Structure 1
């Protein structure tokens, strides 16, 4: 068995760090600003997109890397960027606004906010399903409904 082939770097470690960093930020920006934030669920198309993006990004990140060390360094780079973003966002509100999308009000005092729905590509049917899941029968009983940063929905009932 060729132990050096398994554990020795097959490409320069700095190249792996740069590739991992570039792909992390490209994917972060793509998913943060381009990919639609869903209404609390993942569909088949969303899962397919993630699988395809992962496969497409793999070559850009790994290059000619073939060893365990190359893969370990690449994974460590991606995890480090993720942890760094979380930590910076925790300590600095301006960064939190960049990392996490703001909540968006979709219903106010029983009325749909069509502009916000349109910007988030949320249909009437999706919105109605969300307040029904909270046990609310009609929109007039909703004081406020928000699409949260994580894609879930928060509902405040009228008294």
Structure 2
């Protein structure tokens, strides 16, 4: 039979939960921001991080990994709180936004590969050419710019000024 009082009385000091949740969130945010920007795909890093951590925190709280529901709810609150706080800081202060939300990085400009930027993000020539082929571009001379966006995705602008994602662009079925 369930002990209803134990389900709601925290068995871990509340400050410990806040500290553990904060350290894990900030450590994972930093690692994802610095190391795995390209791996996050089209989901923003903070979105991905919140989903993973929330799933883990909620699972522990629901499955009895904690002896109290309060522990799990508090940890979920800490994770959501850090996500909100970092987004609010990035919104209000441009200097912080540059650290929290990485800007886009130009990989190709006017048909020329910017090797330094490619090395910085560990993108090979083959990966770049694969990306261009997927956009229907066979020749670098047809590329005005390729950018790696802050979410890890890529955007391609053709030399004639239209994005390869533009449905009106020549050569695309309409």
Which category describes the TM-score, using the shorter chain as reference length? 0.7 to 0.9
CA-to-aligned-CA distance 1:42-66 (integer Å, 9 cap, x gap): 9xxxxxxx8xx96xx97xxx9x843
Matches of 2:33 and 2:3, distance apart in 1: 42
Q: Is the 8 A contact 1:21 1:81 kept in 2?
A: yes
Matches of 2:131 and 2:80, distance apart in 1: 33
Q: State the structure with bigger RCO (CA 8 A, min sep 6), 1 or 2.
A: 1
The residue that corresponds to 1:13 in the other structure is: 14
CA-to-aligned-CA distance 1:1-20 (integer Å, 9 cap, x gap): 20112111011211111111
1:111-130 alignment, distance < 5 Å: 111-130=112-131
Matches of 1:89 and 1:107, distance apart in 2: 28
Matches of 1:93 and 1:36, distance apart in 2: 20
Q: Is the 8 A contact 1:39 1:147 kept in 2?
A: no
Q: Is the 8 A contact 1:40 1:153 kept in 2?
A: no
CA-to-aligned-CA distance 1:120-149 (integer Å, 9 cap, x gap): 111111111212222222111001100001
TM-score (norm 2): 0.74
The residue that corresponds to 2:150 in the other structure is: 149
**Residue 41 of structure 1: how far off its partner (Å):** 7.0
1:78 counterpart = 2:45: no
Output the aligned Cα RMSD. 2.6
When residues 106 and 152 of structure 1 are mapped into structure 2, their CA distance, relative to the original with a 3 A threshold, is same
What number of residue pairs does the alignment pair up?
Answer: 145
When residues 90 and 146 of structure 1 are mapped into structure 2, their CA distance, relative to the original with a 3 A threshold, is same
1:29-44 alignment, distance < 5 Å: 29-35=30-36, 37-38=38-39, 40=41
Matches of 1:97 and 1:35, distance apart in 2: 17
Matches of 2:112 and 2:101, distance apart in 1: 26
Q: Is the 8 A contact 2:37 2:152 kept in 1?
A: no
The residue that corresponds to 1:45 in the other structure is: none
